[in-house]
Amino acid sequence: MLEELLSKLDLSYTQKILENMIRINSIIGQEAELAEYLRNELEALGLKCEVDEIEPRRPNIYVRIKSENPGKRLNYNGHLDTIPVVDGWETDPFNPVIKDGKLFGLGVCDMKAGIACIIDMLRAFTNSGYSFNGELSFSGVIDEEAYGKGAKAMLKTDFAQVDAIVLAEPYSGDELKPIPLGITGKILYDISVKGKAAHAFRPHLGINAIEELGKILNNLNKLNFKTHPDFGEGNYSTLKIEGGYDIYSVVVPAIARMEVNRLLFPGETVHMAI
């Protein structure tokens, strides 16, 4: 039966869905159009969607295929948002381009390809007429690249009360571990330093907040990182730093702040990381 189901997967359909998704801008905060597209696509397959607005114009989308017979429940999950466009694109990020056998576009890898595979799997499963027990569902969530508001809302719904959730996230596994059982979490450090303003010709009269912040920055690598058999060694990345004047002036900066991302491994809690 599995062979028959697998034979119904359609790579050209998956690619078409993926290319359509790339043409839709779904940068964090702008997920509505993609959710609407997926809703239309899933409803065209005869599946009924539930849409839950987490914030205005920021919906999670859910779909459920339920057997009349009780059984295990499995949810496939994907996030609708992508990160913003960064420097260095050689092609239009919203126009899918195939080069050297690879498809380029914003969010192809993370994670519109994963969602396209889920949609094709749901299509193949629905069309197969396969009789099964339990429930198969899909949850598409917002805000994964930021605060995870969509996933947090999803976890409060019935779609999270399942036997297993498969995240279709990209993962650089190998042949021995193609699929990890779990994923790293993250904590965002928001670090502010208060110094003391002074005329910058007499810096010794003030406390330079940027330079003090720099001392912290230079010592972040002394954080106590854990290692984990499945996830390797912990790490951090400084994401943003700001401080100093808005208008050029010779003033010792009194305030500086930075945001630092740190990965958390299974077993590590927020309290262990602060």
Site residues (vs Zn ion, CB under 5 A): 110-111, 169
Q: How far apart are CA 111 and CA 79, in angstroms?
A: 7
Q: Please say which residue, 50 or 169, places its beta carbon nearer to Zn ion.
A: 169
Name the minimum Å distance from CB 144 to Zn ion.
Answer: 6
117: helix, coil or strand?
A: helix
Residue showing the smallest CB distance to Zn ion in the complex: 110
Q: Please say which residue, 151 or 209, places its beta carbon nearer to Zn ion.
A: 151
Q: How far apart are CA 114 and CA 159, in angstroms?
A: 19
Question: Cβ(141)–Cβ(153) under 8 Å?
Answer: yes
Backbone angles phi, psi at 270, to 5 degrees: -55, -40
Name the minimum Å distance from CB 111 to Zn ion.
Answer: 4
Q: How far apart are CA 17 and CA 86, in angstroms?
A: 24
Backbone angles phi, psi at 217, to 5 degrees: -55, -45
Other beta carbons within 10 angstroms of residue 100's beta carbon come to: 5
Residue by residue, DSSP assigns 235-247 as -EEEEEEEES-SS
| Amino acid, single-letter form, for residue 175 | E
Q: Please say which residue, 54 or 111, places its beta carbon nearer to Zn ion.
A: 111
**Catalytic residue (choose from 31, 135, 144, 268):** 144
Question: Cβ(89)–Cβ(33) under 8 Å?
Answer: no
Q: Please say which residue, 96 or 107, places its beta carbon nearer to Zn ion.
A: 107
Catalytic, 4? Answer no
Q: Please say which residue, 83 or 272, places its beta carbon nearer to Zn ion.
A: 83
Name the minimum Å distance from CB 237 to Zn ion.
Answer: 15
Name the minimum Å distance from CB 85 to Zn ion.
Answer: 16
Catalytic, 144? Answer yes
Q: How far apart are CA 36 and CA 86, in angstroms?
A: 25
**Catalytic residue (choose from 81, 120, 135, 268):** 81
Name the minimum Å distance from CB 23 to Zn ion.
Answer: 19
Buried-exposed string 11-50: b where 16+ CB fall within 10 A, e elsewhere: eeebbebbbbbbebbbbbebbbebbebbbebbeebebebb
| Amino acid, single-letter form, for residue 46 | G
**What are the residue numbers of the active site?**
81, 144
